[in-house]
Amino acid sequence: MNDLDIKQQDAKALAAGYSKSFRMVEILSIISFWSLSIAIAVKASAFTSTYPWVLVAALVAGFLMADFVGGFVHWLGDTWGSTEMPILGKALIRPFREHHVDEKAMTRHDYIETNGANCMVAVPVAAGALLIPLTIEGWVAPALFALVSIGSMIFWVMMTNQIHKWSHLEVDEMPPLLQTFQRLHLVLPPGHHQTHHTAPFDTYYCITTGWLNWPLAKLNFYRHMERLVTAVTGLIPRKDDIGLEAALKVAPLTSADAPKPSPQAL
133 and 229 assigned to the same domain: no
Look up residue 136 and give its amino acid: I
Percent of the chain with pLDDT over 90: 59
Distance CA 53, CA 46 (A): 14
Do residues 77 and 179 share a domain? yes
* Residue at 172 is within a domain: yes
Domains held by the chain: number: 2
Q: Is 131 found in the same domain as 48?
A: yes
pLDDT (tens digit per residue) in 69-105: 999 999 998 898 888 888 777 777 888 888 888 888 8
Whether 100 is in a domain gets the answer: yes
Whether 118 and 237 share a structural domain: no
Burial class (CB in 10 A: 0-12, 13-18, 19+), 254: exposed
Indicate the pTM of the whole model.
0.84
Q: State whether the Cα torsion 38-116-72-131 is positive or negative.
A: positive
Instruction: Note whether residue 150 is domain-resident.
Output: yes
What domain range is 159 assigned to? 11-210
153 belongs to a structural domain: yes
Domain end among 189, 210, 231 = 210
Q: Is residue 33 in some structural domain?
A: yes
Q: Are residues 175 and 248 in the same domain?
A: no
Helices 140-167 and 111-130 pack at an angle, to 10 degrees, of 170
Is the per-residue pLDDT at 183 higher than 90? yes
User: Quick check: is 5 in a domain?
Assistant: no
- Residues 237 and 114 placed together within one structural domain of the fold: no
